[in-house]
Chain A
Amino acid sequence: MFELLGIPPQALFGQLLLGLINGSFYAMLSLGLAVIFGLLNIINFTHGAQYMMGAFVTWMLLTYFGINYWAALILVPLIVGASGIVIERLMISRLYHLDHLYGLLLTFGLALIIQGLFRNQYGVSGIPYAAPELLQGGHNLGFMYLPNSRLWVIVASLVVCLGTWFMIEKTKLGAYLRAATENPTLVGAFGINVPRMITLTYGFGVGLAALAGVLAAPIYSVNPNMGEQLIIVVFAVVVIGGMGSILGAIITGFGLGLVEGLTRVFYPEGSAVVIFVIMAIVLLVKPAGLFGRTA
């Protein structure tokens, strides 16, 4: 059997598919970050904690209220998104006139507090969350066994990413949002409630993180550190894609998932840093990111 770069092509396809699955998470999370940064100019470091909250609320709904996974897909983004709206109204909105750094520090602090609270309550080992019946089992693709739960992640992520991109780039609402970031005073003069629009946008971004948390719950163990490990990578994805670029976040999310997957095959020890190496190179060559606009 011929080999490609030292590994059989079948194994390579498997690894590429796995990269795509991880990329789905990166894309969804970086999309939320990009939406928030693009429209609010806030670097939302709480995003990882909000992703973790998504997974925990999913588990809580099932454990305490008997609400299943499918309902959680709708309810969890609403619940966690609502908590985001409260945070935006009470805290973040007071920082808009200050430098980016203040928003970053506030959201970073919030992330530490939220993680600490969950850690004290639930420990660090994590809690099992069984996949719903429909997502159990999988398909034998010939080159690998693809669990249904992972296949579902790719589908869900693609739908959400494309839907969000369409809404922001192609609809009237999206046009208002984009206009509001360019010139809030002017948009406000047209009778549009800009502060409310910004609040809802933050809630939407947080809802995206929570939705990724719902998708992650049956795959990874639900644990307080799950966001912490992911958020740094996701930030790198956003930087590489171009801060605030919706399309950049989606494409680099999936792309870097693939790159990381391949690194796991050829040089596993390097898989934790490959994304940061790429980030450093991109920043040197194209400081605004691959899809970013230079101001």
Chain B
Amino acid sequence: MMKKLALATSAFAMLAATPGLAQDVSVKLGVLNDRSGVYADLSGEGSVIAAQMAVEDFGAEEKGITVEIVSADHQNKPDVASNIARQWYSEEDVDAIFDVPTSSAALAVHEITREMDKIFMNSGAATSDLTGSACSPNTVHWTYDTWALANGTGGAMVEQGGDSWFFITADYAFGHALERDTTAFVEKSGGTVVGSVRHPFPGSDFSSFLLQAQASGAKVVGLANAGGDTINAVKQASEFGITQAGQSLAGLLVFLTDVHSLGLQTAQGLVLTESFYWDLNDQTREWSARFEEQAGDKPTMVQAGVYGSVLHYLKAVEATGTDETAAVMEWMKANPTDDPLFGQGEIREDGRKIHDMYLFRVKAPDQSEGPWDYYELLETIPADQAFRPLADGGCSLVEEAAAQ
């Protein structure tokens, strides 16, 4: 009895002491993304707004945590991204970097973060290598990845009879990873890949590549690109009668802002995978309405991911009372995640954040009931099936843990 009482008292003392510890903590967060190029609408200024909302909703100030947010444009270039990251970490005392769309830029920031022993919480980039072959103890991959996209959209297309594929792939780390992961999925399900073409990033004219896809006779034309590239490819596929001639178009990574830009007339029927949609439940609707007031548009899953990751990071800072990398990372991985946008989840030891993913179909214009009413939910992919199994990624952290 005495022992129990002592334990309870010390636990209470620790809890009571935590806010006191956190009082002196000040953290600096860097939101690094595309502010003017093809990914600026789906991340950009909206991600900074999402980060600020997380700080306000968390009540950092009342909890004694001073938070400063800085942001910059990496222009989708790995060299620019790594220069900014290095400067932020070494000269401006930034504790953690968020967002970073464009896989090549994200991989660059990932390496510098490991080298400088800081924290990188990615929500914008897709490559599954971040938590696979290139995994690092300093990175959390929050929103989605190429494996989850291949699993969602790829799986659904094969199920519907799309067993032969032709890829139109953006020629950089992201496109390659998405093509690789989707190919693995198609082949595992008994399908074949009849060909692929790699286009320069960013591109504007996709007619040549679409014609090659048409000539290949594949049942599914997989678009392993994103943002402006996907928009142009989908638009031109419709112009060249690809879908009318019987081939299906698989947008392997399509964001809400892409559908908004395409218009439902062109985008209708596209099947896509996302980890967040503003109209999922009351919580997402409430948050998205607040976001829209500030940003002007509904949020994408990337921006939602920035909100979720900043929130979890701040919880860790509050609980540990420090901005020290190892302690914060350990807390983030040891404790479940819970936020209004992604619900409950966890961060695995390879850095992969786990939550449900959703398979949507884009509505036809007459099904849409108002502005931004674009998606019809086809299927919820449960968290434990949505992402690559821990053992399959080839992450050295997992192997080390298993060896011990």
Residues of chain A whose beta carbon lies under 8 Å from any beta carbon of chain B: 8, 10-11, 14-15, 18-19, 21-22, 116, 119, 123-128, 130-131, 138, 144-145, 147, 149-150, 219-221, 223, 225-226, 229-230, 261, 264-265, 268-269, 271-272
Does residue B164 face the partner (Cβ distance < 8 Å to A)? Answer: no
Per-residue interface assignment for chain B, residues 213 to 244, with 1 indicating a CB less than 8 Å from any chain A CB and 0 otherwise: 01100000000000110011001100111000
Query: Is there contact, CB below 8 Å, between A124 and B36?
Result: yes
Q: In the complex the two chains form, is B40's CB within 8 Å of A18's CB?
A: no
Within the assembled complex, what's the spacing in Å between the Cα atoms of A173 and B228?
43
Contact (A219, B261) CB under 8 Å given A8-B215, A269-B171, A269-B198: no
Contact call A124/B208, Cβ cutoff below 8 A? no
Least Cβ distance of A115 to chain B in Å?
8
Q: Is the CB of B208 within 8 A of A264?
A: yes
What residue in chain A is nearest B201 (Cβ atoms)? A272
Q: Closest Cβ of chain B: how far from A124's Cβ, in Å?
A: 4
Contact A11 B211 (CB under 8 A): yes
- 13 additional A-B residue pairs with CB within 8 Å, beyond A124-B37, A268-B197: A11-B211, A21-B207, A126-B261, A128-B262, A128-B266, A150-B207, A219-B239, A221-B228, A221-B261, A229-B202, A230-B204, A264-B208, A268-B200
Residue B209 is within 8 A (CB to CB) of chain A in the complex: yes
Given A147-B239, A269-B171, A269-B198, A223–B228 Cβ distance below 8 Å? Answer: yes
* Cross-chain contact A145 with B40 (CB below 8 angstroms): no
* CB proximity of B13 to chain A, nearest CB, Å: 52
A-B contact pairs, 9 of them (CB 8 A): A14-B215, A18-B211, A124-B44, A124-B228, A125-B41, A138-B239, A138-B241, A229-B204, A268-B197
Min CB distance, B363 to chain A, in Å?
16
- Contact partner, A269, options B200, B215, B239, B266, Cβ 8 Å: B200
Most buried by B among A18, A124, A147, A220: A124
A124 touches B212 (CB 8 A): no
Question: In the bound complex, do residue A128 and residue B41 qualify as a contact, i.e. CB atoms below 8 Å apart?
Answer: no
Instruction: Count residues of B near A (Cβ-Cβ below 8 Å).
Output: 42
- What is the CA–CA distance of A15 and B115 in the complex, to the nearest angstrom? 47
Sort A-B residue pairs by CB-CB distance and give the 6 closest, nearest first.
A272-B200, A125-B261, A264-B208, A128-B263, A125-B41, A124-B40
Contacts of A128 in B (CB 8 A): 235, 261-263, 265-266
What A residues does B204 contact at CB under 8 A?
220, 226, 229-230
- Is there contact, CB below 8 Å, between B208 and A125? no
| A19 cross-chain contacts in B, Cβ below 8 A | 208
Known contacts A11-B211, A128-B261, A145-B241, A221 near B38 by CB under 8 Å: no
Docked complex Cα distance between A8 and B95 (Å): 57
A-B contact count (CB 8 A): 108
Q: Residue on A with the closest CB to B168?
A: A268
Please report the C-alpha to C-alpha distance between residue A128 and residue B171 in the assembled complex, in whole angstroms: 26
Given contacts A124-B36, A147-B239, contact A265 B212 (CB under 8 A): yes
A126 near B228 with CB under 8 A, answer yes
Contact between chains at A123 and B266 (CB < 8 Å): no
The smallest C-beta distance from A277 to any residue of chain B, in angstroms, reads 14
Could you tell me if A265 and B208 are in contact, using CB atoms closer than 8 angstroms? yes
Q: Does B315 contact A (CB under 8 A)?
A: no
B257 at the binding interface (Cβ < 8 Å) = yes
B258 at the interface (CB under 8 A from A): yes
Instruction: Give which listed residue, A124, A130, A144, contacts B265 with CB less than 8 A.
Output: A130
Cβ-closest chain A residue relative to B40: A124
Q: A221: which of B200, B211, B241, B262 is its contact (CB, 8 Å)?
A: B262
Beta-carbon nearest neighbor of A138 in chain B: B241
Chain B residues within 8 Å of A11, by CB: 211-212, 215
B330 in the interface, Cβ–Cβ < 8 Å? no
Verify B228–A268 contact, CB threshold 8 A: no
Of B209, B211, B232, the most chain A CB neighbours within 10 A belong to B211
Return chain B residues, CB-CB under 8 Å to A220: 204-205, 232, 235
Interface string of B44-56 (1 = CB under 8 A from A): 1000000000000
| A123-B41, A124-B38 known; A145 vs B240 contact (CB < 8 Å) | yes
Bound state CA distance, A149 and B241, in angstroms?
A: 13
Q: Report the Cα distance A124→B203, complex, angstroms.
A: 14
- Docked-complex contact A124 and B41, CB < 8 angstroms: yes
Q: Are B37 and A225 in contact (CB under 8 A)?
A: yes
Kindly provide the distance from the CB of A190 to the nearest chain B CB, expressed in whole angstroms.
46
Q: Collect the chain B residues with CB atoms within 8 Å of residue A145's CB.
A: 214, 240-241, 245
Contact A125 B240 (CB under 8 A): no
Contact B211 A14 (CB under 8 A): yes
CA–CA, A135 and B232, complex, Å: 18
The answer to whether B198 and A268 have CB atoms under 8 Å apart is: yes
**Whole-angstrom CA separation of A8 from B262 in the bound complex:** 33
Q: B266 and A225: CB pair below 8 A?
A: no
Query: Which residues of B are found within 8 Å of A149, using beta-carbon distances?
Result: 239
Complex Cα spacing A27 to B241, Å: 26
A271 and B200 contact, CB distance less than 8 A = yes
